[in-house]
């Protein structure tokens, strides 16, 4: 295993994809692939670590049970392993995120960086709208706020970056309503990046780099559909961790999805995202007011695994 303190974590039910093979071949990074019950039993990597279902049961049995099987939130077990191996920077990726040549080479995580910082008078910042594709919006952005997005006010600000959410060319991470309406295939100009905002904003668990300190509080939530990483992002920012958005560093060749099912799995967010953001801004947010009991229990089990 590499002595590098930089880890890549993903989960999959597929045989190694082109994205996985490329991540597995990157120097100075250790890849951890978390399997599931439908992952091929002969799954193999050239350099990285494959965490089988049996390995996961041994690593964190209580957490494994609370998360359940056949779900993308199995990647949390990879976070546990990476932290136990001394990870300082962790990249959370999907198995359909094909890394570009410069992937992981312009890291801001763990550094004070001068950034273009947007204001968001409506209390929530949509990073996709800040690009030349302003007709689109990031998955998890409150739909109630779409018409009040405004990017006219910004300033230069020095920010200590805890999370770096890099963008994705190809099929961007928009919600089902946006995808059904626009069928986007985006090529984001790198000229508008990097940027940030003092306002709460959505980021996902694909092509996202986190510091060790941030990952100790970041948990992809089971039991909340496609808000699993969005609510994790809101929760992390409610604790003061800062996110910066970086230029595209992957091409997303999106796995097959049922968009109607995607829509169904996002309804909880359409109903509660705006209220969650409002509570964070008001200082009244408590995660247990929004998360199901099972989700809260799983998060508590995760914290027991990753905090001394």
Burial 228-258 (b: 16+ CB within 10 A, else e): bbbbbbbbbbbeebbbbbbbbbbbbeeeeee
Query: In which region does residue 174 sit, left (phi positive, over 0), alpha (psi from -120 to 50) or beta (all else)?
Result: beta
Report pLDDT for 254. Answer: 67
Query: Is residue 151 assigned to a domain?
Result: yes
Per-residue pLDDT of the chain (308 residues; tens, 9 = 90+): 344 799 999 999 999 999 999 999 999 999 999 999 999 999 999 999 999 999 999 999 999 999 999 999 999 999 999 999 999 999 999 999 999 999 999 999 999 999 999 999 999 999 999 999 999 999 999 999 999 999 999 999 999 999 999 999 999 999 999 989 997 789 999 999 999 999 999 999 999 999 999 999 999 999 999 999 999 999 999 999 999 999 999 998 766 668 788 899 899 999 999 999 999 999 999 999 999 999 999 999 999 999 87
Give the C-alpha separation, 83 to 100, whole Å.
26
> Residue 269, Cα to own-chain centre: how many angstroms?
16
Q: What is the pLDDT of residues 191-244, one digit of tens each?
A: 999 999 999 999 999 999 999 999 999 999 999 999 999 999 999 999 999 999
- In sign, the C-alpha dihedral spanning 262, 268, 271, 275 is negative
Structure letter (DSSP) for residue 104: T
Number of domains in the chain: 1
| Residue 258, domain member (yes or no) | yes
| Domain-located, residue 139 | yes
1 within a domain of the structure (yes/no)? no
The reply to whether 12 falls in a domain is yes
Cα of 79 vs its chain's centroid, Å: 12
- From the list 123, 124, 149, the residue with the least C-alpha distance to 136 is 149
Domain that holds residue 41: 6-306
Rounded distance between C-alpha atoms, residue 201 and residue 242, angstroms: 10
What is the rounded CA–CA span in Å between residue 61 and residue 75?
14
Would you say residue 134 lies in a domain? yes
Give me the CATH number covering residue 67. Answer: 3.90.550
- Tell me the C-alpha distance between 271 and 200, whole Å: 17
Rounded (10°) angle between helices 228-238 and 259-282: 10
286: in domain: yes
Establish if 168 belongs to a structural domain: yes
Using CB atoms within 10 Å of the CB of residue 92, give its burial: 0 to 12 exposed, 13 to 18 middle, 19+ buried.
Answer: buried
């Amino acid at each position: 295993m590499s002595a590098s303190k930089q880890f890549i974590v993903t989960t999959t039910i597929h045989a190694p994809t082109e994205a996985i093979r490329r991540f597995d071949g990157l120097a100075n990074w250790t890849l951890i692939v978390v399997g599931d019950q439908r992952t091929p039993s002969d799954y193999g990597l050239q350099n990285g670590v494959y965490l089988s279902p049996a390995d996961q049961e041994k690593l964190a049995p209580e957490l494994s049970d609370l998360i359940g099987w056949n779900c993308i939130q199995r990647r949390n077990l990879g976070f546990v392993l990476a932290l136990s191996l001394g990870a300082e920077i962790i990249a959370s990726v999907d198995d359909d995120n094909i890394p570009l040549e410069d992937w992981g080479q312009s890291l801001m995580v763990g550094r004070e960086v001068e950034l273009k910082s947007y204001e968001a008078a409506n209390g929530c910042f949509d990073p996709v709208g800040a690009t030349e594709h302003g007709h689109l919006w990031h998955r998890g952005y409150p739909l109630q706020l779409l018409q009040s997005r405004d990017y006219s006010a910004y300033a230069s600000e020095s920010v200590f970056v805890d999370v770096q959410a890099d963008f994705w060319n190809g099929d961007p991470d928009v919600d089902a309503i946006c995808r059904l309406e626009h069928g986007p295939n985006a090529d984001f100009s790198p000229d508008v990046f990097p940027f940030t905002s003092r306002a709460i904003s959505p980021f996902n668990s694909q092509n996202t780099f986190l510091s060790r300190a941030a990952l100790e509080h970041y948990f992809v939530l089971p039991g909340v559909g496609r808000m699993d990483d969005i609510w994790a992002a809101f929760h992390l920012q409610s604790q003061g961790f800062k996110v910066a958005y970086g230029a595209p560093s992957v091409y997303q060749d999106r796995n097959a999805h049922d968009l109607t099912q995607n829509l169904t799995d996002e309804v909880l967010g359409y109903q509660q995202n705006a209220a969650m953001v409002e509570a964070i801004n008001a200082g009244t947010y408590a995660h247990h007011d929004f998360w199901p009991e099972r989700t809260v229990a799983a998060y508590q089990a995760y914290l027991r695994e990753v905090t001394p």
